[in-house]
Amino acid sequence: MHKEFEMSIMGELNFFLGLHVKQMKHGTFLCQSKYCTKLIKKFGMEKCKEAYTPIATSTYLDLDEKGKSVDESIYRGMTGSLLYLTSRRPDIILSVCLCARY
């Protein structure tokens, strides 16, 4: 067995910081699907509509004075969780950063 595949006293690494870690002969693979599923449930978005493109590149966000009030701590938690995903999901960086500005 190769040195990099040896198990520690705690056992084989399967999950680390929300990432599913799969160690194989050809490399180590990371998967965030469990983390994403957990976020969807945490923020009550199980019935939301799926979209292939998170947001149009020409989108402009501004203050919606007539809109509903939003709990800032939930919004910050949601945005922070999505910022963590951007390290492996460059396709959502624009959308998440736009939301983070507000």
Classify residue 10: in a domain, yes or no.
no
Tens digits of residue pLDDT in 26-62: 887 777 788 888 888 999 989 988 877 667 767 777 7
**Has residue 69 been placed in a domain?**
yes
17 falls within a domain: no
Is residue 30 a part of any domain in this protein? no
**Mean pLDDT rounded to a whole number for the chain:** 78
**Whether the predicted pLDDT of 9 surpasses 70:** no
DSSP class per residue in 82-96: HHHHTTT-GGGHHHH
Residue for token digits 């963590």?
Answer: 84
Asked if the structure places residue 82 within a domain, the reply is: yes
Number of domains within the chain? 1
Full domain range(s) for residue 90:
49-102
Q: What local confidence, expressed as pLDDT, does residue 10 receive?
A: 60
The predicted pLDDT at position 32 comes to 78
Does residue 25 form part of some domain?
A: no
